[in-house]
Amino acid sequence: MTDQPFVDIRHAAKSYGSLEVLHDISLRVNKGEIVAIIGPSGSGKSTLLRAINDLDPLTSGEVWLEDTQVNEALPYRLYEKHINKVRQDIGMVFQHFNLFPHLTVRGNITLAPKMLKGISDAEANILAEEQLDRVGLLERIDYYPSQLSGGQKQRVAIARALAMKPKVMLFDEATSALDPELVEEVNLVMKQLAEEHMTMIIVTHEMKFAESVCDRVVFMDGGYVVEEGSPDVVFRNPVHERTRNFLRKHLQG
Amino acid sequence: MGLDFAVVPEYLDRLLLGSAWTIGITLAAAALSFFGGILFAVIALYAPAVIRWPFKTFAWLFMGTPLLLQLFLIYFGLIQIGIDLPAVVAGIIGLGLHFAVYNSDIIQAGIRAVDKGQYEAGRTLGLSQAQTIRKIIVPQAVRAVVPPIGNNMIALLKDSALVSVIGVTELTLSSQLAISKTFRPFEFYLAAAACYYVINLALEAGLHRIERRIQVAR
């Protein structure tokens, strides 16, 4: 691990009118580190994750990716250019997959690389095949999303994000919308990425997965980071009462 | 004086030529109304207010006034300010713009119905707003609204008869010319109606094929 953080969230705060959803949160993630953000619904964990690529802009605070401030205050046009560039380095996977239904799997994966990286159709095809192979779905390359199961859709969504060769991957409850028997195949892909030392920030309700894969766990509640530490500490010996209460409900069985 | 359809074949070539013009004008105006409809929808939803409001006013004027009057304005009115359009061109522009405004309403609803997550997915990949709209939102919206737009195109075919009044020798005017020579209105209007009907069947079949292809592609 390096000294300089890879993703650096500094004093992040967000409010909707008088409703504060994030209170002065600072979080540093190192290169290759895998961080889980857990907490009850409405705790602000998704909002924090979506602030990292400025999909949900902060009210105040800064987000940095290496030497670049993601949410730099710029005039509209400059900001648009800046953010479109930065977002190419930040892959995101959504709860509801958000695959493009009018495009095949191949089209989903190659659209952004072709438009943004100026690669040829042939190069884009190779890229799509590589990334699909990585998630074990090469034989589905010419299918439409509607012809895939939920787990397959999410694996394609991961391949689509990976095709941009991002520096960090954000997962926003990637398995929450899946039938229980389909969760494992997505978890396996995420584990594999972990083994390849992809930097990942994972908002999840899956405590077992967080415990087995992540280097660090952040517990959020009510817009605050209540507790953070290694999975061992947070899951086995949490300091705070609120963490204990939350885990009692989620770690059964 | 009884009916005598025997006079019709003598003028069949003119009716067929008129039909060809009707088909050509309809297809050109349909293309204009389709792409214009997409453009208008994007302006109405995404453009800054200084562009959006004048545009919306223009759209309301087009929806709130008769198509016939619009054709007169474009063909006879524009000459006064130095724009002298051939009647066919004026007819295509009038029909195309008129139906573009209607298509735009439908496409706007289609765009609004596209899930917000689609936009977010595009933007997170690094696509700009314009790229996301063009490659992700509009293609989905258009697919969803092909059936109602198809209905508009059938209405457009029938309303193309209006361009006869600015002197385009399409199907309706061709039949009127035949009538003025033969004094057989019933026969020729029925013949023209039959031609419209056949063209309409072909148009519907074409629209059906497009709908089916798009259904497969989802």
pLDDT tens profile A230-247:
999 999 999 999 999 999
CA of A247, closest CA in chain B: separation in Å?
Answer: 30
Question: Is B127 an interface residue toward A (CB < 8 Å)?
Answer: yes
Over residues A141-151, the pLDDT tens digits come to 999 999 999 99
To 5 degrees, how large is the angle CA A182–CA B140–CA A202?
A: 35
Instruction: Give A130-183 pLDDT, tens digit per residue.
Output: 999 999 999 999 999 999 999 999 999 999 999 999 999 999 999 999 999 999
Q: A2-11, A71-80, B188-197: lowest mean pLDDT where? A: A2-11
Q: Which residues of B touch A84 (CB under 8 A)?
A: 126-128
Report whether pLDDT(A59) > 90. Answer: yes
Identify all chain A residues contacting B128, using CB atoms and an 8 Å cutoff: 80, 84
pLDDT at A3: 62
Which positions in chain A have a beta carbon within 8 angstroms of at least one beta carbon in chain B?
53, 55, 80, 84-85, 87-88, 90-92, 94, 96, 98-102, 111-112, 115-116, 144, 146, 160-161, 164
Residues of chain B with pLDDT under 50: none
Give the whole-angstrom CA distance, residue A189 versus residue A174: 11
Query: Using a CB-CB distance cutoff of 8 angstroms, which residues of chain A are in contact with residue B218?
Result: 101-102, 144, 146
Interface-testing mutation among B111, B125, B133, B136, with chain A (most A C-beta atoms within 10 A): B125
Q: What is the mean pLDDT of chain A?
A: 94
Residues of A in contact with B117 (CB under 8 A): 94, 96, 98
Output DSSP code: residue B74. Answer: I
pTM for the structure as a whole: 0.88
Q: How would you list the strands of the sheet with A90-93, edge to edge?
A: A90-93, A168-172, A199-203, A34-38, A216-221, A224-229
Q: Does the pLDDT at position A1 exceed 90?
A: no
Q: CA angle at residue A96 from A169 to A128, to 5 degrees? A: 55
Is the separation of the CB atoms in B119 and B132 below 8 Å?
yes
Rounded-to-integer distance, Cα B4 and Cα A219, Å? 90
Q: Which residue of A has its CA nearest to B136?
A: A100
What would the pLDDT profile of A62-72 be if each residue is shown by its tens digit?
Answer: 999 999 999 99
pLDDT of residue B217: 56
Give the confidence band of A253 by pLDDT, cuts at 50, 70, 90: very low
Residues 6+ apart with CB under 8 A from A85: B126
| ipTM attached to this prediction | 0.93
* Residue B136 contacts A, CB cutoff 8 Å: yes
pLDDT number for residue B160: 97
* Predicted pLDDT at B216: 56
